[in-house]
């Protein structure tokens, strides 16, 4: 959002430096992203602060701050609007049956026989400051008011006998926006003029010949000032990938109760230029928005902020921010202005008081100490287990993934118990069958599919995440660990590879008395192996059904396992859990050519002798040494065999590649020396 220093000075009616404005904006919590030539502020706004897309309302907040700080010679320039009697036109706009879903209020100003307007220099200057090129017509007035009041506006040329129709589509409709083809679905809305679509309401115009100055013959103009449902605008803007200044403003909420104020401001400026303009207003208030009422206690401010602010100052701040207040002893009833969509609770009002009083006005004289709760034992166990699992899975070539818990593909529902799913309440999203995930599988299959499309075939992932489902109409969430692996169509190797890792995990966690059973009736796994302990199913493992893989264009076999972390923790004796090294163990291979007559027992004893000598000397850095492979080539080496050993070096903070290479070199040289000896 672009804010001009000169515009702010214009409303404040005072000499105030650019640096002072910058300081005030920071003090009242408006984030400045960039400053240009000590003239322009580029500010960042959260989605609920739509009213601050206006020079007028930002100036009003600065004025409130200055008044509380008792600045001298400070005043606020009120906006002049048209206040005489005016006529209503109620026959030229038609709304379809379900318009209330999309629109709150639709107001407009009809202007008749408008000739070219001579725009005052002061308006042109203000537009030039914020990089809007003046066009010397009604567009300049509209652009000025949009940036002054933050209210998105649109206008159309019209003939007196033609209607504007707010229409809900009954079938798909193809439109073109600057050569971009867009297919609108049934149930979506368009604005029609003379039976032709002219705009996607709140987002952009379609018929550019009708909405610009190119229509020279027609001198009648209709200025649209509407309030649309911000959720609908956000949804359609994202769906069709259309971002306009209008859609960005509507997404942040536009107050329907301000629409006439905005139109009367436009009319005032037009009549200043040409007093003979003929006009009529129109207004359809479909969903009336009432002021929110909040009961507020004075003593809450002092308790939360830690500094006494008088009731008089609190009342003054609230009045400066357009809050209507009714005193009742130590409490007040506050009516919130409808443009303050972000104020919903008492704590929001306290934040406003805190903000305008000045964040920097509060200084702590004493050091603050916060008591921390003792960590829950289950949490500590869970963290130990999690660290171990990450360690072991990464060492076996798995990568961690994180997926969002929302799923929106209706095809997934075939492989889920529909009675258990939790749908998302948002009306727009629910049309897309959005629901919370009941398993981690579909997200991980997306990860595999994504990698396959990029010719990456080493797909081994794990994910820690929550799943959600209904049980006896209650909302249940559980923490799970899922492991997935794309196989080269060798089911047994992949299945037993993952099963081996899981058994290693269970062994480490001292879970020994478990049983295994196989079932074929599973929603998304073909043959599913369950592991349970004391009638509690700890985990499941199996290959994913082919019709599930089809959804993701995966042709190879995929092995999937889901572990219930809570049940695992419940089966653990905490005393038996060891401390886990957070640094990964390092594996290196040593290959040695030896005489055939050397027995395996001889080599094994030799290795362990060297390992013991080294560990005694260097603080047990070698975790293990395993003979992994024997190779014999009778043609090249008649009387010799090649032995490959895996050396596992203990992970440490200061372990470098140089140290690893020295350990490997030491072993190789020692073995060769002792064998020759």
Read off the CATH number of the domain in which 27 is found. 3.30.56
Average pLDDT, the chain: 83
User: What is residue 14's predicted lDDT score, i.e. its pLDDT?
Assistant: 80
Confidence check: pLDDT of 368 > 50? no
Residue 140 lies in a domain: yes
Query: Of 530, 548, 576, which residue constitutes the final position of a domain?
Result: 576
The per-residue pLDDT for range 278-291, each reduced to its tens digit, is 899 999 998 889 99
- Please say if the pLDDT value at position 166 is more than 80: yes
* Residue-level pLDDT at 211: 46
Among 235, 254, 285, residue at a domain's last position: 285
Do 353 and 449 lie in one domain? The reply is no
CA dihedral in degrees (497, 500, 504, 506; nearest 10)?
A: 120
Name the pLDDT band for 33 (thresholds 50, 70, 90).
Answer: confident
Is the residue at 73 inside a domain? no
State the Cα–Cα distance between residues 465 and 507, nearest whole angstrom: 23
pLDDT classification of 56: cutoffs 50, 70, 90? very high
Residues 180 and 228 placed together within one structural domain of the fold: yes
Residue 76's H or E segment, with its range, is none
Domain extent for 424: 377-576
Same domain assignment for residues 100 and 240: yes
3-state secondary structure 168-219: ECCCCEEEEECCEEEEECCCCEEEEECCEEEEECCCEECCHHHHCCCCCCCC
What total number of domains does the chain contain? 5
Q: Indicate whether 567 and 611 sit together in one domain.
A: no
Enumerate residues 6+ apart whose C-beta is below 8 A from 459: 447, 448, 451, 452, 484, 485, 486
- Which CATH number covers residue 299? 3.30.56.10
Residues 311 and 274 in one domain: no
Q: Are residues 490 and 472 in the same domain?
A: yes
- The pLDDT value given to residue 366: 47
Residue 225 lies inside a defined structural domain of this protein: yes
What is the rounded average pLDDT of the residues 147-174? 86
Residue 194 and residue 296 in one domain: no
* pLDDT confidence of residue 296: 92
The residue-averaged pLDDT of 329-346 equals 90
Long-range contacts of 231-235 (CB under 8 A, 24+ apart): 231/426, 231/427, 231/428, 232/101, 232/102, 232/202, 232/428, 233/202, 233/203, 235/428, 235/429
Which among 490, 485, 495 is positioned nearest to 398, based on CA atoms? Answer: 485
The domain that holds 625 is classified in CATH as 3.30.70.380
User: What is the predicted pLDDT for the residue at 255?
Assistant: 93
More confident residue, 483 or 308: 483
For range 381-394, the mean pLDDT: 77
What whole-number percentage of the chain has pLDDT above 90?
A: 22
Dihedral sign from CA coordinates of 447, 449, 454, 459: positive
Residues 232, 247 within the same domain: yes
Domain shared by 133 and 17, yes or no: no
372 in a domain, yes or no?
Answer: no
In CATH, what number is assigned to the domain containing residue 261?
A: 3.50.40.10
Q: Which residue has the higher pLDDT, 272 or 386?
A: 272
- Give domain status of residue 669, yes or no: yes
- pLDDT tens by residue, 536-592: 888 999 999 999 999 999 988 899 999 988 888 777 655 455 555 556 667 788 888
* Residue 182 pLDDT grade (very low, low, confident, very high; cuts 50, 70, 90): confident
- Predicted confidence at residue 372, as pLDDT, reads 55
Instruction: Give the 3-state secondary structure of residue 157.
Output: strand
What is the pLDDT averaged over residues 633-648?
Answer: 76
CATH of the domain at 473: 3.30.930.10
Give the burial class of 629: count Cβ atoms within 10 A of its Cβ; 0-12 exposed, 13-18 middle, 19 or more buried. Answer: exposed
303 domain-assigned: yes
Angstrom distance (rounded) from CA 507 to CA 489: 29
How far is the C-alpha of 63 from the C-alpha of 66, rounded, in Å?
5
Return the top range by mean pLDDT from 193-207, 254-268, 589-603.
254-268
Domain boundary among 576, 608, 643: 576
Q: Which pLDDT band, with edges at 50, 70 and 90, does 208 fall under?
A: very low
pLDDT band with cut points at 50, 70 and 90 for residue 518? confident
Cβ neighbours for 86, distance < 8 A, ≥ 6 positions apart? 279, 280, 281
pLDDT of residue 334: 94
* Same domain as 465, residue 553: yes
Instruction: List b or e across 593-616, with b for residues whose CB sees 16 or more CB atoms inside 10 angstroms.
Output: ebeeeeeeeebeebbeebbeebee
Domain shared by 398 and 424, yes or no: yes
Q: Are residues 296 and 279 in the same domain?
A: no
């Amino acid at each position: 959002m672009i804010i001009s220093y000169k515009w702010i000075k214009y409303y404040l009616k005072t000499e105030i430096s650019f640096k002072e404005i910058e300081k005030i904006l920071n003090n009242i919590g408006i984030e400045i992203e960039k400053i240009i030539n000590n003239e322009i502020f580029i500010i960042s706004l959260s989605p609920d602060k739509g009213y601050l897309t206006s020079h007028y309302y930002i100036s009003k907040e600065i004025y409130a701050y200055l008044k509380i700080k008792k600045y001298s010679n400070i005043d606020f320039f009120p906006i002049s609007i048209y206040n005489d009697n005016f006529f209503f036109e109620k026959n030229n706009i038609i709304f379809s049956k379900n318009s209330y879903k999309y629109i709150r209020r639709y107001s407009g100003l009809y202007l008749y026989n408008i000739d070219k307007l001579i725009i005052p220099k002061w308006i042109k200057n203000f537009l030039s400051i914020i990089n809007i090129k003046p066009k010397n017509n009604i567009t300049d007035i509209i652009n000025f008011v949009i940036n002054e009041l933050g209210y998105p506006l649109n206008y159309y040329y019209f003939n007196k006998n033609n209607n504007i129709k707010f229409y809900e589509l009954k079938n798909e409709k193809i439109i073109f926006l600057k050569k971009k083809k867009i297919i609108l679905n049934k149930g979506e809305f368009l604005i029609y003029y003379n039976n032709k679509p002219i705009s996607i309401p709140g987002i952009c115009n379609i018929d550019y010949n009708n909405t610009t100055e190119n229509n020279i013959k027609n001198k009648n103009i209709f200025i649209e000032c509407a309030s649309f449902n911000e959720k609908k605008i956000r949804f359609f803007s994202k769906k069709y990938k259309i971002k306009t200044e209008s859609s960005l403003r509507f997404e942040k909420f536009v107050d329907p109760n301000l629409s006439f104020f905005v139109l009367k401001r436009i009319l005032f400026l037009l009549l200043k230029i040409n007093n003979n303009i003929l006009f009529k207003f129109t207004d359809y208030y479909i969903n009336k928005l009432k002021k929110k009422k909040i009961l507020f206690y004075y003593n809450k401010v002092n308790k939360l902020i830690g500094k006494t602010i008088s009731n008089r100052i609190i009342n003054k701040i609230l009045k400066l921010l357009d809050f209507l207040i009714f005193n009742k002893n130590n409490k007040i009833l506050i009516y919130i202005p409808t443009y303050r969509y972000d104020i919903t609770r008492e704590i929001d009002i306290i934040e406003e008081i805190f903000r305008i009083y000045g964040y920097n006005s509060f200084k702590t004289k004493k050091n603050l100490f916060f008591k921390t709760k003792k960590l829950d034992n289950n949490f500590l166990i869970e963290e130990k287990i999690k660290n171990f699992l990450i360690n072991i899975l990464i060492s076996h070539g798995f990568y961690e993934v994180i997926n969002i818990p929302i799923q929106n593909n209706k095809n997934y529902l075939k492989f889920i118990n529909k009675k258990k799913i939790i749908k998302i309440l948002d009306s727009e999203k629910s049309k897309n069958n959005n629901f919370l995930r009941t398993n981690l599988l579909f997200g991980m299959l997306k990860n595999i599919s994504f990698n396959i499309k990029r010719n990456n075939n080493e797909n081994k992932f794990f994910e820690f995440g929550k799943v959600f489902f209904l049980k006896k109409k209650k909302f249940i969430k559980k923490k799970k660990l899922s492991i997935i692996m794309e196989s080269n169509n060798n089911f047994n190797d992949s299945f037993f590879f993952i099963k081996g890792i899981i058994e290693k995990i269970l062994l480490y966690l001292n879970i020994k008395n478990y049983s295994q059973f196989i079932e074929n009736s599973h929603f998304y796994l073909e043959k599913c192996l369950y592991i349970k302990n004391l009638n509690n199913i700890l985990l499941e493992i199996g290959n994913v059904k082919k019709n599930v893989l089809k959804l993701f264009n995966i042709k190879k076999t995929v092995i999937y396992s889901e572990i219930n972390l809570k049940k695992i923790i419940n089966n653990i004796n905490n005393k038996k859990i060891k401390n886990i090294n957070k640094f990964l163990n390092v594996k290196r291979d040593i290959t040695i050519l030896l005489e055939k007559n050397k027995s395996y027992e001889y080599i094994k004893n030799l290795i362990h002798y060297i390992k013991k000598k080294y560990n005694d000397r260097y603080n047990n850095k070698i975790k293990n040494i395993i003979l992994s492979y024997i190779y014999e080539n009778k043609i090249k080496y008649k009387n010799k065999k090649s032995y490959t050993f895996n050396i596992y070096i203990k992970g440490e903070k200061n372990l470098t590649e140089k140290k690893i290479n020295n350990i490997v070199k030491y072993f190789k040289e020692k073995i060769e020396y002792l064998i020759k000896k």
